[in-house]
A and B are shown apart, each in its own frame.
Chain A
Amino acid sequence: MKKRGKYIIAALLFVGVFCIGAIFQRYTAIIQGQNSLFLFTGDYFRETFAASWPLSHLLESFCLQFYEIPIVGPLLNALAATLIFLLFNFFLQRIRVPFHTVEAAIIACLCWIFAAIATTPLILFKVLLISSILAFAALLLKKKEAAPIRIWELITIAVFLISAALFVSISKDIRSDETTAKVRYATYKGDWNKVLENVTPQSSIDRPEMMPYAFLAMGYTGELGERLFTYPIQNIEDFDMEGIQSVEGNYFNSLLNYYMGNYNEALHHIFQYSCHFPHGMTHFSLSQMIRYNNILGNYTMVRKYAQIVSRSPRYSSSASKLLKRFEGAQDSIPPAGHLSSGARTTTNNPQYDLLQLALAGIDSGIAQERFLCYLMLQGDLNNFVEAFSIFKWERIPRHYEEALLLAGVDPNVFGISAATQKLFYEISFAMAQADIPTVDRMAKGTYWEYYFRKQKEGAF
C-alpha cells in the first residue's frame, strides 16, 4: 500500500470519472467536441494568444476536437483528472505537505465536479497545466520518501470520490444538459425516434423549451397533425425556438431550415451560431457550412471550408477526401444578368418566413405542416381552411380535423372521420349544457382544449 496506494487511487479516480462521464455526460461531451475549434493556422494561434489563459485554451481545444468521437470525451476527462491527482500528489509530497494524497485527491475531485457543471471542461486543462508546471518545478526539490497512506486518509479519499461521483450522477442540471445534448445530437443525426423518446409530453411539462425539437421530429415523421396538442403547448411561442441571438435557437433553427430545404437560412443560423464561440467558428459550424454549400452547389465554398478543416488534426483525413471529391467541381451559379431583387425574403418571423418559403417554391412537407400549425395556434381558422385545401392529404391528421370542424366546414366535403365528428358533437353538447368538467375531460389532448383555453384567456 505504501508505494502502490497512490496508483490504486489514481486508477479508481480514472475509472470513476470515465464511467460516470460515459454514462451521464456522453452526449454533453460530443456537443462540446462539436463546439470546439483547433486549427493549425496563423489566425487561430494569433486569436488564441490574444485571449487570457492561451495555453490552457490551446490544450483544451486540441483535446476537445476529439470529444465528438463517442466515449473519447469521458476518456480524456478521466485522464486529465487522474494526471491532476498524480502531479499534485507529486508536488505536494516534494514540498512536504502532510496528507498530500488526500489533498491531491480533493483537488482532482473538485476539478471533476467543476468541469462537469461547466460548459466546457476548461478547468481540467487549466489545473492540469498548473499542476504540470508545479510538478516540473518540484523536480528541483530534494526527493522525499513517501509516507504510507493511512486508513483514515483512504476513507476520506473514498468519501470525496463517491461524493463527486454522486454529485455528477444525480445533479439535475447535469442530467438536463445531457438530455439537451442528446436531443440536439439526435436532431443533427436525424434520429427522430430518439428525439421523441427524450422529449415526451410528460417531460415537456418541466422542460417546455425542448418541445420545438419534438415538433420538428414529428414534422419529419408526419405526426405533427396527430400529436401536437398532446404536448403541453401553451402559446404560439412554444412551437418554435425564438432567438436569433441564442446558441440553442441558432442550433435548432439551422437544423430546422436545413430539414425544410431553406439552405440560405440554415447557413444564416449556423453563422450566427458560430458567433457564440471563442473563434467565431466551430468544427460543427464548418462541417454544416460544407453540408449546406454542397447542397446549394457552391463548391468553391465547400473547398474553402474543407481546406480549413484539413488544418485540424481530428478532421484532416476526411477533409482531404472531401477536397479530392470536389476537385474541379463547377459551382451552380445563376445566369448572367440575374438579379436577386425579386427573391422572397425572410425576416426572423417564423410564420411569415414559412409563407415566403412556400411562395419561393421550396416544396417542403415539414414547412407546409408547420405553417398549418401556426395558423391553428393563432386561432386563424379561416386561413387554416384555405391553406389546408391547397395541400393533398391521404388521411387527414386528427388535429386538422378538429380545426376544420371548429371552423364550421362541411365534414363530408372534407372527409373528416366519424370518430372525430362524434367527439366534436359530444363536446358541443356538453358545452351547451355548460358541463365544463366533461368538456375538459373529453377535449384533453385535442386542438379544442388549446382553442377553448385561448378563448377563455381572450387571445382569440
Chain B
Amino acid sequence: MKLIKYITGIALSAILLHSCSGAPSESIPSDSYPDIIPDYIGVTIPEGIAPLTFEMADGTNCRFETEREGDTLWYSVTSWRKGDKKGTIHKPFPVYISADPIDPYIAYRLIEPGYESWHNIVIAQRELASYKESRIVSNRANDMGCVNCHTFDSGDPQKMLFHARGKGGGTVFIDGEQIRLINLAEVGSQRQGTYPAWHPSGRYVAFSSNNTRQCFTSNEYQPIEVYDTASDIILMDLQTDSVILVPQLSLETRMETFPSWSEDGSTLYLCSAASVENVANNRGQVHYRLMSAKFEDGQFVGEPEELFGDDSCSVSFPRYNDGYVLFTHTAFGTFPIWHDEADLWMYNVESKEAFPAEILNSDKAESYHSWSSNGKWVIFGSRRLDGRYTRVYIAHYKGNGEFDKPFLLPQKNFNHNTLRLKSYNIPEFIKGEVKDYEKAVSKLFK
C-alpha cells in the first residue's frame, strides 16, 4: 500500500512539474491579437455555451485567462515556444455574449466525406452548454445501411423523421414512443422521399423526390459533383398517411428540390432548375432558381413564383426567417458542399433583393444551414478548416439581414476537429434532448 502511495506521489509530482515547467515566468506584451485557430476573435456567442477552446496557429504553446465585462468576455492569451524563458502576452481579444437565447441542443449526422459508400453513420446530438455528444440513431440499427435527412417538427425532440435506406428501408417517423417505418415509394405517388420539410402545423411533410447521381473529375481540384437527373415535390399528410405528387411542383421539364416552409406555413420555398440532358457533362448549365409556392388548407394554390436566380448561379437550401430567405449560392449545380465557391446569401422577401451574408462566408464551401427556433441564431456547415471535412459554425442574427461573426462549435480540445474523420452533416437546432432510438429503430429492421 505504501509503495502504491509512493509511486502515485512521484507520478503526480512529475505531472505537476511538467505542466508548470513549460510556462515562462516572464512575458513581453504585444499589441496584436494572438493568431489562434479557430478564429474566435470578436465572435458572438450565446450565454452558457460550452467554453471556447483554441490553439495558436503556429503551434506554439498558449494559456489564457478570461475576464467578463458586461456582455463582453475578454481573453488574455500568453504564448511561448517550448524552452523560451519569456513568453508573449497578446492584446486581449473580445468575445461578445448575446442575450438572445439559443436552443439547448443541436443534431447532425456524422459521416465520412467519402464517395459512394460509408461504414459508420451516426445521427448524433450535442448539448451546447457542454461538450456532451450522444447518439440518436446509427446505421447499426438498419444493418449498416444509410441513415439520412433527419428533420424535426419545429425543433421538437419528440417528433422527428429520417430516412433509413437499404434492405427493407423507408422513412422512420418518430412521435414520442410511437415509431413507424413507411416506405414512401409504396404509398400514393410511389416516389421515394429525399429532402424533407415539416410543415409548422406538424400535419404535413413536403419531400423532394430526387434521382441523385455523382460523377468524379479526373484532373481537377474539386473531386466530386453530385447532381440530380430528375426531382419533384411530394406532399405527405401525416393524418391520413397519404402521399401526393404536387402537379405544379413536378414539371417534367424542370427539377424541383429543397422544400422549406415559411414560419406560418403559408408558403413553401423551393429550388427549381430546367432539366438538362446528360447532366454530368453539362453540369455547368444547371442553375436552380429560388421559388415559392402558396399553400392553403392542405393544398398548393396557383403557380410557383420565381424569386431569385439566373444563369450565373444556383440556389440550394432556402430557409425562411424574419422576412429573409437564407440560401446557399453556388455557380452551378445542386450539391454545394463540394463547391469551394459555395457561400451563404440572404434574400429579402419584401425588396426582392439577394446579397451575400459576407461575415458567414469563407474561401471554402458553406452549405447546409438552419435557423434556431427563435430565429436569432443560425447554424451552418462549412469546410473552411481543411476543405474536406465539414464542421459546424453558429452565428448570431442581428436582424435586418445581418449577422455577427460566426464561431466554430466548441470542442473540449480543438484538435478534435482535426482528429475526427467524419463530416458534420445537416446541422439542426433542437429544443431539447432526443432519446437514443437505436434499439427501437433496430426492431423495425428485424
A interface residues with partner B (beta carbon < 8 Å): 39, 41-43, 47, 50, 244-245, 262, 264-265, 267-268, 271-272, 274-281, 298, 300-301, 304, 307-308, 311, 327, 331, 333-334, 337-347, 353, 356-357, 360-362
Contacts and interface: CB of A to CB of B under 8 A. Distances in A.
Lowest 8 A-B CB distances belong to which pairs? A341-B284, A280-B119, A343-B220, A340-B222, A345-B215, A275-B117, A360-B218, A360-B219
Contacts of B222: 340, 343
A340 B218 contact: no
B223 A304 contact: no
Contacts of B120: 47, 279-280
Contacts of A353: 218
Contact of A344 (B59, B112, B218, B389): B218
B350 to A, nearest CB: 32
Contacts of A343: 217-220, 222
A244 B117 CA distance: 9
A245 B386 CA distance: 27
A39 B415 CA distance: 14
A271 B217 contact: no
B190 to A, nearest CB: 27
Q: Interface on chain A toward B: helix, strand, loop, or mixed SS? A: loop
Contacts of B341: 337, 339
Contacts of A341: 283-284, 331-333
A307 B281 contact: no
B6 interface: no
B138 interface: yes
Q: Interface on chain B toward A: helix, strand, loop, or mixed SS? A: loop
A265 B216 CA distance: 7
Given A264-B220, A277-B119, A346-B215, A271 B387 contact: no
Given A274-B119, A344-B217, A268 B283 contact: no
A301 B385 CA distance: 10
Contact of A264 (B223, B281, B387, B416): B223
Interface of B: 59, 112, 114-120, 138, 140, 215-225, 280-281, 283-284, 331-333, 339, 341, 386-389, 415-416, 418-422
B284 A300 contact: no
Contacts of A41: 419-420
A280 B219 contact: no
A345 B331 contact: no
A339 B336 CA distance: 12
Given A300-B387, A341-B332, A43 B119 contact: no
A42 B416 contact: yes
A262 B116 CA distance: 18
B218 A272 contact: no
B57 to A, nearest CB: 10
Given A43-B421, A267-B223, A301-B388, A345 B114 contact: no
B119 A264 contact: no
A42 B220 CA distance: 34
Contact of B116 (A272, A280, A360): A272
A265 B215 CA distance: 11
A339 B217 CA distance: 12
Contact of B119 (A278, A331, A338, A345): A278
Contacts of B223: 264, 267-268
Nearest to A354: B218
A352 to B, nearest CB: 11
Determine which residue in B116, B224, B419 has the highest number of CB atoms from chain A within 10 A of its CB, and name it: B419
A345 B219 CA distance: 9
Contacts of A337: 341
Given A333-B221, A357-B218, 14 more contacts: A41-B419, A268-B216, A277-B119, A279-B421, A280-B112, A280-B421, A304-B388, A304-B418, A307-B419, A331-B387, A339-B332, A341-B333, A345-B217, A347-B216
B121 to A, nearest CB: 9
Determine which residue in A39, A339, A344 has the highest number of CB atoms from chain B within 10 A of its CB, and name it: A339
A93 B419 CA distance: 47
Nearest to A296: B221
Contacts of A360: 218-220
A164 to B, nearest CB: 34
Given A245-B117, A272-B115, A280-B119, A43 B422 contact: yes
Determine which residue in B119, B140, B225 has the highest number of CB atoms from chain A within 10 A of its CB, and name it: B119
10 contacts: A42-B419, A43-B419, A272-B116, A280-B112, A280-B119, A280-B120, A338-B221, A340-B225, A343-B218, A344-B219
A362 B218 contact: yes
A244 B215 contact: no
Given A264-B219, A362-B218, A311 B419 contact: yes
Given A275-B119, A341-B284, A342-B284, A50 B217 contact: no
Contacts of B225: 340, 345
A265 B387 contact: no
B387 A347 contact: no
B337 to A, nearest CB: 13
A262 B283 contact: no
B217 A300 contact: no
A244 B114 CA distance: 13
B117 A304 contact: no
B218 A339 contact: no
Contact of A307 (B118, B331, B333, B415): B415
B421 A308 contact: yes
Contacts of A276: 119
Contacts of A50: 138, 140
A368 to B, nearest CB: 14
Nearest to B215: A345
Contacts of B389: 304
A275 B224 CA distance: 17
Contacts of B219: 262, 264, 343-344, 357, 360-362
Nearest to A263: B219
B436 to A, nearest CB: 11
A112 to B, nearest CB: 30
Nearest to A334: B221
Nearest to A245: B117
A356 B218 contact: yes
Nearest to A344: B218
Contacts of B283: 341
Contacts of B118: 275, 280
Contacts of A345: 215-218, 225, 280-281
Nearest to A250: B117
B218 A262 contact: yes
Contacts of A267: 223
A353 B333 CA distance: 22
A333 B280 CA distance: 23
B2 to A, nearest CB: 24
B188 to A, nearest CB: 32
Determine which residue in A50, A281, A343 has the highest number of CB atoms from chain B within 10 A of its CB, and name it: A343
A334 B219 CA distance: 12
B111 to A, nearest CB: 9
B185 to A, nearest CB: 22
